[in-house]
Amino acid sequence: MAEKIKLYDTSKCTGCRACQLACKQWNALPAGQTYNTGTYQNPPDLQSNTWMLIRFQEMSNGNGDVKWLFRKDACMHCTDAACIKVCPSGALFRTKYGSVALDKDKCIGCKECISACPFDVPRYDPVTDKIAKCDLCFSRIDRGMEPSCVKACPTGALSFGDKDEMIARAHARVKELGGDANVYGDQFVGGTHMLYVLTEKPSVYDELPERPRVPLTVIAWKDWFKPLTLLAAGGVLAGSFIHYLTHGPKDTSGDDQAGGEGGE
Amino acid sequence: MIPKKGMIKSTDAFERLVHWWLAITCIILIITGLGMMFHSFNFLGTPLGGLKNLKLVHNFTGLLFAPALFFAILIWWREAGVFKMPEDLEWIKVAGGYLWHVDDVPETGKYNPGQKAFFLAVAIFGILMVASGLIMWFPLSLPSGLVQWMYPFHALGMLVIFPFVLVHIYLGTIGVPGSARAIFTGYVTRSWAEKQCPGWLKEMEKEGRLEIYGEEKEEAAHG
Amino acid sequence: MTNHWNDIENSDCVLAMGSNPASNHPISFKYVTKAMEKGAPLISVDPRFTQTSARADIYAPLRSGTDIAFLGGMIKYILDNNLIHEKYVKAYTNASFLVNPDFKMPGENNGVFSGLVENKYDKSTWSYQTDADGVILKDPTLSDPNCVYRLLKKHYERYTPGVVSNITGTPKDKLIVVYEAYTKTGKPGKAGTIMYAMGWTQHTVGVQNIRTMSIIQLLLGNMGVAGGGVNALRGESNVQGSTDMALLFHILPGYLKTPVASWQTLEEYNRKNTPATNEPKSLNWWKNYSKYMASLLRAHYGKNVTLEEAYRYLPKREDGQDCSWLTLFDNMYKGKFSGLFAWGMNPACSGASSHKVRQALAQLDWMVNVNVYDNETGSFWREPGLDPSKIKTEVFMLPCSAFMEKEGSITNSGRWMQWRYKAVDSPGVAMPDGDIMTELFCRLKERYEKNGGPLADAITRLTWDYGVKDGAGRVRHFDPDYVAREVNGYFLEDKVIGGVLYKKGTLVPSFGLLQDDGSTSSGNWLYCNSYTEKGNMAKRRGNEDRSFIGLYSDWAWCWPLNRRIIYNGASVDPDTGMPWDKKNPVIRWDGAEWKGDVPDGVAAPGAGRPPFIMKPDGVANIFGPGLADGPFPEHYEPLECPIEENLLSPQFINPTIVRWDEVGTGTSVDARATCDPRFPFVCSTYRVSEHWQTGVLTRWAPWLAEMQPELFVEIGSELARLKGFKNGEHVMVKSVRGEVEAVAIVTDRYKPMKVAGMTVHQVGIPWHYGWVTTNMRKYVHGDKVPEVFTGGDSANLLTPFIGDPNTGIPESKAFMVNVERKGV
């Protein structure tokens, strides 16, 4: 099965939030009481019941011009997904489309993925004691449909298709846009399955890591300590066995009256 | 394993209680930890009704492990927490005679440097495990930059403690016959003590503090 | 829209002014984006940097209410640089017409046109010079000083970039950038489109705002072509449809005029409303007026009564009587109404100067609130601070079905009549509006039959064949299909027209066949052809596009006659019939007939018939004498504005507006405060993507409420700094008429502007909120309690009670406020 990519072109996004709504609708996510805090962005951040949201950001340059940036924030579906790496139960898994999906039944609410994610995406729901995040509408794409956010997008800022085609399209678009435009997502964490075409440099955007990667802590833990533990424990077991065979038990018996071997 | 007359008391009841308290919680933690560390051990959760319960068992066992560790450190840090130079160094040089034939193993006190190392490993990494484990239990209340580091620390603890525990079990049972008796009954044979901790034996005898099964306790016995 | 949504894609330049389509018409942006992909620049002109501005290639700020100055400057730019589409202008507009030499323009007449008496124009000088046969004199060379073209040039000579910039606050260089980009579409084969909405209409010069743009579109040859036109983005999904069906007081279905008292007979009514022309080649389509009126009367009364009787039954206004929104509520406020049906309306929030509306409701004896949810109108009597025991109005709530709970048609901004099907049953006792009306009608009729009354026949003889009837002849369930057929119209008798026999009882295939002898019926002549013997055309879902310009002519149905782009007769060269734009042809003469869209108004090429056939003279009006406030648009300041003079003339505000603040009741609800230091900031109301109208449907939808939970006011960073506001803090927005609490959004998207040497700050506030929330409802076991409650009241508590002289639409896009920290 070919890997799929959701392409998000910020140069065509109008911040209408049809995607944000469609996500809630398809995934039957309830709304929560919010308040206006001086921005259009609401809910203020990703939540266990808000798997994606549009971030609104104003940017003023020196000469008085203003830009209004919109960014759809949701799971990036990394190829080297730190969350999958750390998930103890296998609840987070890679689908045949390359996306990162969640088997809710398996989730044990350990929250390890939350601190592992370089994009700060997974959210914990204390009511169900499980985490929640975008699964690229696995239930839809597995039936040949596009994700609900893509379906709802009126301007074509969102599109969905085969990996190579989407990457090519993203680069073509960036070429067309020129300036600071760039493709974000194909050069790190093994390539993401949500790809951005950004009109500004990544560093400009709020809450967007400039060079995301699987955290060193996860690598140390999963790539070093985990196999080492196995190696060490196995080595010790094997060593003890060989020791017992070659050296035999230490002779602690003596000739005193209270003698007698251990292990009665 | 009832002690026989003439055996030497090496551990008191509280020490043994703490040891087993620590040992049992530690083993449960290791087993449940393994269940979460490796997907291939996920099945360990099955008898508990799922991995989620396994996690709960792990977390709450950790809470029981912590006081045991506290008492263990309290009890043993003097005897097993400090290396005595140069004799411990000498012992280390010949690896206590465990790995190759050594004619004359340097004498050690109650605990040899190997045992000390194990104690220190359990003490230091045990604290690390408790601390990191607690933070991992409630990761959302702390900055994620801090929380992130708890996972490799916890894994590092496992990397250190788990093999040590295996060594400890081996040497405490079939590796050094007669050892297990000490932690079950509190008594060891004189010959075991002569082999395992001659320095201690000599010191105790010199100070007259040795308790021998079946004999009257001497005046100077420590409480 | 003269064109339609898909057609925006064909544009070579998109101007979004007086609108924020990215936010408020999100789907339209699909086609804007497509046009942009093909290289069309998007221009956003707005006081506030909006989501549309964020996507635009060019953004230019302007002060609210100065659009005519801005666009007048563009007209001057076009004429100075000779950027007009010359052949188009000469053939298809009245540019060459010679105007009465006595006609005077504001530049030479103290800021007003000739003929102003008190606050009304005597239009006798707004006329053309004619020859002995009454044919209008023309100068095809456009050089006669009295020709429309020369007058236009003279009129806008005063709109220099310097003056315009001083009025609008738009930096001069931005003006030029916009003018330059847009006027490139004057080249034959290029098309520019305008997307406007309430940002243009809700002004005391609302109609003239649109007129200014219409003139630009004509000068550039952008009317009738693909990717061109003048496109009103409607504020509601079916505003176009309801307007077609006589939403407004002065029109009957199909834009026929409502009768007034002095038009005693049908013959007189027709005579007064059928335009005449002496232009030999003009088709003057409205000459068929009497046919449409006769067919409408037949749709109302069938053949039960004569046409004359039917006309007599129609209610008539007093001559000159204004029944527009503001007048209506002013009269209600003065106690002249006893009852009100607030049907799918929430005037307590949507009406300008809502305090006045809310107080007016208390003057009623009874009110029926027909709505999906309770709202501020139905619950006005329990508004916090009011004592319900002191309010006499008896309020009835009739719960009605929401759109997905009933069947029917919607006519979108692009004039597409699209059939919708019922998806779910209505909850509880809610009924579709049609059923409620049927029930009302039947009971009224029974009562009139039993008790009689003045003009009882007007009710008792109405036809009401909107469903299967029971034994008593009463419609059991309203069926919109019957209505759709009646709207289209029937032959009421066998009729031979042009040698073809049309059988009695069959549907009339086209409005060209409607008759004035009573042999046909049609509920709305514009919709004749929407339901033919082939079936309900609005149900069509053919998605093939044979036109290559996205007409999708087999999708649903479009008035008139499924013509997707009206005035398309002007999209071709008058001599050859070849389209101006070869790549995007709307129609094309193939030597024998027209191909493409349903042709509009054109005869064979070279025949010389002017294609704007709805105009008596057949050409589009650059000089437009039909309006109340002038044949050319002239800049006047909004009723409330920050500067003390009109920089263009001594006439400060539109001289023809109807005023309440001077002659009215003298209460605060009608007050105004112009150049008043207490209210120093210009304010506009607007909408957000997430809410609809007064929010009665959307504030109850948790997902939407979650995204925009509270009333906010957008304040520029510099103003916030001056006032010491922090982002997100609660502030009070006050006008002389009222105040609302709102959350301050401090933003760089509003910048202070230089107007007449002064620094002017502008703020903006959405109007979707109201004090009624489901929070205060009682819930019984099993009820789903909404997850989100919204906060805030209507921004219309601030807006002035003043309107455009042509339409009466209130000026809620430009008024003066103050913003203060809460509790000050």
pLDDT digit string, tens, across residues B14-68: 988 999 999 999 999 999 999 999 999 999 999 999 999 999 999 999 999 999 9
pLDDT at C725: 96
The runs of H, that is alpha helices, within C694-745 are 702-707, 717-723
Q: Decide if A261 is inside a domain.
A: no
Length of chain A: 264
Residue A263: inside a domain:
no
Same domain, A154 and A202: yes
Contacts of A14 in chain C (CB under 8 A): 22-23, 26, 29, 51-52, 54-55
C262 & C232 share domain: no
Q: Is chain A touching chain B, with at least 3 CB–CB pairs below 8 Å?
A: yes
C498 within domain boundaries: yes
Beta bridge partners of C686: C766
Residue range B56-85, pLDDT digits in tens:
999 999 999 999 999 999 988 887 778 877
Q: Is the pLDDT of residue A83 over 70?
A: yes
Could you read off the pLDDT of C728-749 as tens digits, one per residue? 999 999 999 999 999 999 999 9
Of the two residues C655 and B102, the one the predictor is more confident about is C655
Task: Give the one of B139, B147, B162 whose C-beta lies nearest to A233's C-beta.
Answer: B162
Residues of B in contact with A249 (CB under 8 A): 174-177
Q: What pLDDT does residue B85 have? A: 78
pLDDT (tens digit per residue) in C498-548 = 999 999 999 999 999 999 999 999 999 999 999 999 999 999 999 999 898
Q: Which of A92, A78, A69, A71 is nearest to A19 (CA)?
A: A71
CATH number of the domain at C802, please. Answer: 2.40.40.20
Q: Nearest CB to C51: which of A31, A64, A68? A: A68
Percentage with pLDDT > 90 across chain A: 84
CA angle C411, C416, C417 (to 5 degrees): 55
pLDDT recorded at residue A260: 37
Supply the pLDDT for residue C730.
97
Instruction: Name chain A contacts of C708, Cβ cutoff 8 Å.
Output: 36, 40, 42
C272 and C213 within one domain? no
Low-confidence winner among A191-195, C706-710, C806-810 (lowest mean pLDDT): C806-810
Shared domain for C260 and C217, answered yes or no, is no
> What does the pLDDT average to over A120-143?
96
Residues A12 and A81 in one domain: yes
| Boundaries of domain holding C290 | 250-318+490-527
Q: Are residues C178 and C303 located together in one domain of the fold?
A: no
Q: What is the rounded CA–CA span in Å between residue C52 and residue C17?
A: 10
- Condensed to tens digits (0 to 9), the pLDDT of residues C212-258 reads 999 999 999 999 999 999 999 998 899 999 999 998 999 999 999 99
Residues of A in contact with C23 (CB under 8 A): 14-16
Q: What type of residue is C626?
A: G
Query: Distance, in angstroms, between A235 CA and closest chain B CA?
Result: 8
Confidence of residue B1 (pLDDT cuts 50, 70, 90): low
Angstroms from B214 CA to nearest CA on chain A: 11
* pLDDT of C615 over the 60 cut: yes
In this model, does residue A40 exceed pLDDT 90?
yes
Task: Name every chain B residue with its beta carbon within 8 A of the beta carbon of A253.
Answer: 177-178, 189, 191-192
Q: What is the largest CA-CA distance in chain B?
A: 60
> What is the SS3 assignment for C25?
coil
- Alpha-carbon distance C509 to nearest alpha carbon in chain A (angstroms): 36
Q: Which residues of A touch B210 (CB under 8 A)?
A: none
A40, closest residue in chain C (CA to CA): C708
Distance CA C296, CA C319 (A): 22
Q: What is the pLDDT of residues C507-517, one digit of tens each?
A: 999 999 999 99
Counting one residue from chain A and one from chain C, the pairs whose CB atoms sit within 8 A come to 120
Q: At residue C712, does pLDDT exceed 50?
A: yes
Write out pLDDT tens, residues C452-502.
988 899 999 999 999 999 888 888 899 999 999 999 999 999 999 999 999
For A235-247, the pLDDT digits (tens) are: 989 988 888 888 7
Domain count, chain C: 3
The tokens describing C101, both together, are 């030499």
Residue that wins the pLDDT comparison between C46 and B83: C46
- Is residue C612 assigned to a domain? no
Q: What is the per-residue pLDDT across B112-144, written as a single tens digit (0 to 9) for each?
A: 788 888 889 899 999 999 999 999 999 988 888
**C787 to A33: CB separation less than 8 angstroms, yes or no:** yes
Which site among B144, B191, B197 would you substitute to test the A interface, given the most A Cβ atoms closer than 10 Å to its Cβ? Answer: B191
- Are residues A112 and A238 both part of a single domain? no
Q: Are B178 and A240 in contact (CB < 8 Å)?
A: no
A259 touches chain B (CB under 8 A): yes
Considering only CB atoms, B152 lies closest to which of A89, A220, A264, namely A220
Strand residues in C475-617 grouped as ranges (E): 495-497, 500-502, 531-532, 535-536, 557-558, 587-589, 594-596
Q: Do C224 and C270 have their domain in common?
A: no
pLDDT of C510 reads 96
Q: Are residues A52 and A92 in the same domain?
A: yes
Residue C122 lies in a domain: no
> Is C44 inside any structural domain?
yes
Kindly list the residues of chain A whose beta carbon comes within 8 Å of any beta carbon in chain C.
11-12, 14-18, 20-21, 24-25, 30-40, 42-43, 58, 60, 64-70, 154-156
pLDDT at A254 over 90: no
A228 & A203 share domain? no
Of C785, C788, C777, whose CA–CA distance to C690 is shortest? C788
How far apart, in whole angstroms, are the C-alpha atoms of residue C487 and residue C245? 9
- ipTM, 2 dp: 0.93
The mean pLDDT of C120-125, rounded to a whole number, is 96
C199: its two tokens: 């940002």
For residue A86, the chain B residues in CB contact (below 8 A) are 151
Chain B segment 36-65 residues within 8 A of A by beta carbon are 36-39, 42, 50-52, 54-55
**Average pLDDT of span A96-118:** 94
Task: Give which of A50, A51, A52, A98 is closest to A71, Cα–Cα.
Answer: A52
Q: Residues C352, C800: contact at Cβ < 8 Å?
A: yes
- d(CA A161, CA A90) in angstroms, rounded, equals 26
**φ and ψ of C139, to 5 deg:** -125, 95
Q: Bigger pLDDT: B14 or C763?
A: C763
Check A16 against C26: CB less than 8 A apart.
yes
Residues C190 and C308 in one domain: no
The label of the residue with tokens 């008798």 reads C493
- CATH, residue A176: 3.30.70.20
Does A255 contact B166 at a Cβ distance shorter than 8 Å?
Answer: no
Instruction: Tell me, yes or no, whether C781 and C729 share the same domain.
Output: yes
For C366, what's the count of Cα atoms within 13 Å in the CB-facing half-sphere?
5
Tell me how many domains chain A contains: 2
Tally the residues of chain C. 824
Distance between CA atoms of residues A48 and A125, nearest Å: 5
- Tell me the nearest-neighbour CA distance from C472 into chain A, angstroms: 47
The answer to whether A4 touches A99, Cβ cutoff 8 Å, is yes
**Which residues 160-189 in chain B show a CB within 8 A of chain A?**
162-163, 166-167, 170, 173-181, 189
A131 and A152 fall within a common domain:
yes
Window A:90-109, CB contacts with B under 8 Å? 90, 106, 108-109
Please give the pLDDT value at position C632. Answer: 98
* Nearest residue in A to B96, CA atom: A250
Task: Give per-residue pLDDT as tens, B185-194.
Answer: 888 888 777 7
- How is residue C686 written in tokens? 């607007």
Per DSSP, which regions of A28-122 are E strands?
53-60, 66-73, 92-94, 100-102
Per-residue pLDDT band at A257 (split at 50, 70, 90): very low
Size of interface A-B (CB pairs under 8 A): 168
When pLDDT is cut at 50, 70 and 90, the band that residue C667 belongs to is low
Q: Which residue among C182, C210, C237 closes a domain? A: C237
Best interface-test mutation with C: which of A10, A14, A39 has the largest number of C CBs within 10 A? A14
Structural contact between residues C464 and C457, judged by C-beta atoms closer than 8 angstroms:
no
Burial class (CB in 10 A: 0-12, 13-18, 19+), C459: middle
- Alpha-carbon distance A129 to nearest alpha carbon in chain C (angstroms): 21
C-alpha distances in Å from residue A232, one per residue of A137, B164, C153: 42, 9, 92
**Given A30, A37, A67, which is nearest C787 (Cβ)?**
A30
- Residue C34 is assigned to a structural domain of this protein: yes
Residues C744 and C685 in one domain: yes
- Which of B40, B158, B165 should one mutate to test binding to chain A, selecting the residue with the greatest count of A CBs within 10 A? B158
- What is the model's pLDDT at position C578? 94
Q: Do the Cβ atoms of C648 and C106 come closer than 8 Å?
A: yes
Domain span at A148 = 4-29+40-214
Residues facing B9 on adjacent strands: B187
Which subunits count as partners of chain C given 3+ CB pairs below 8 Å?
Answer: A
pLDDT digits (tens, 9 = 90+) for C302-351: 998 999 999 999 999 999 899 999 999 999 999 999 999 999 999 999 99
Which chain B residues touch A45 with a CB distance below 8 Å?
Answer: none
Report, as an integer, the average pLDDT of C650-668: 76
Best of C42, C48, C195, C748 to mutate (most A CBs within 10 Å, chain A): C748
What residue ranges define each of the domains in chain B, with the CATH number in brackets? 67-207 (1.20.950.20)
Give one DSSP letter per residue of C599-613, joined into a string.
P-S--STTS---S-T
Indicate if A147 and A22 belong to the same structural domain: yes
Distance CA A155, CA A18 (A): 10
Q: Does the pLDDT at position B206 exceed 60?
A: yes
pLDDT at site B217:
54
CB nearest C788 (choices: A34, A64, A70): A34
C762 domain-assigned: yes
Q: Which helix (H) or strand (E) holds C106?
A: none
Same domain, A46 and A146: yes
Token code pair at residue C103:
């006609």
Residue A191 belongs to some domain of the structure? yes
Tell me the three state secondary structure of residue C760: strand
The residues in B 84-103 lying below 8 A from A, measured between CB atoms, are: 98-99
Q: Which two tokens stand for residue A185?
A: 């997502």
Residue for token digits 């060379």? C141
What digits encode the pLDDT tens for the residues A178-205?
Answer: 999 999 999 999 999 999 999 999 999 9
Secondary structure of residue C315 in the 3-state scheme: coil
Four-point Cα dihedral C671, C677, C681, C686, nearest 10 = -10
For residue B170, the surrounding DSSP H or E stretch is helix B144-170
Question: In the structure, do chain A and chain C come into contact, i.e. share 3 or more CB pairs under 8 Å?
Answer: yes
Average per-residue pLDDT in chain C? 94
**DSSP label of C644:** S
Claim to verify: residue C219 and residue C260 sit in the same structural domain: no
What confidence category does residue C664 fall into, taking pLDDT thresholds of 50, 70 and 90? very low
Examine the domain organization and report whether A11 and A108 are in the same domain.
yes
Q: Is residue C134 part of a domain?
A: no
Please give the Cα distance from C12 to B200 (Å, whole number). 97
Q: Does residue C205 fall inside a structural domain?
A: yes
pLDDT over threshold 70, residue C602: yes
Domain identity same for C706 and C774: yes
Q: Which residue of A has its CA nearest to C689?
A: A16
Q: For residue C728, list chain A residues with Cβ-Cβ distance below 8 A.
A: 36-39
Cβ of C743 within 8 Å of Cβ of A36? The answer is: yes
**Is residue B76 within a helix (H) or strand (E), and if so which, with residue range?**
helix B51-80
Q: In angstroms, rounded to a whole number, what is the distance separating the alpha carbons of residues A105 and C581?
A: 61
Residues A107 and A203 in one domain: yes
Contacts of B159 in chain A (CB under 8 A): 225, 228-229, 232
Q: For C634-659, what is the mean pLDDT?
A: 94
HSE-up of A48 (CA within 13 Å, CB side)?
14
Q: Which two tokens stand for residue C189?
A: 């084969």
A117 and A195 co-located in one domain:
yes
- Taking an 8 Å cut-off on Cβ atoms, the answer to whether B181 and A264 are in contact is yes
Helix (H) or strand (E) holding C252: strand C251-252
Bond prior to A43 in cis (omega within 30° of 0): yes
Portion 151-180 of A in contact with B at CB < 8 A:
none
A215: which chain B residues are within 8 Å (Cβ-Cβ)?
148
* CB distance C564 to C597 below 8 Å: yes
Tell me, yes or no, whether A233 lies in a domain. yes
Task: Please say whether the beta carbons of C622 and C637 come within 8 A.
Answer: no
Which pLDDT does position A1 carry in this prediction? 62
Residue C587, both tokens: 């129609």
Model confidence band, residue A263 (pLDDT cutoffs 50, 70, 90): very low
Nearest to C230 by CA among C70, C552, C548, C14: C14
Question: Which chains share 3+ C-beta pairs under 8 angstroms with A?
Answer: B, C
Q: Does B192 touch chain A (CB under 8 A)?
A: yes
Task: With a cut of 70, say whether residue A258 has pLDDT above it.
Answer: no
Q: Is C182 helix (H, G, I), strand (E, B) or coil?
A: helix
**CATH for C70:** 3.40.228.10
pLDDT of amino acid C824: 65
SS3 call for C448: helix
Query: How far from C335 is each of A6, A161, C326, C377, CA to CA, in Å?
Result: 61, 64, 14, 17
A5 vs A166: CA distance, rounded Å: 6
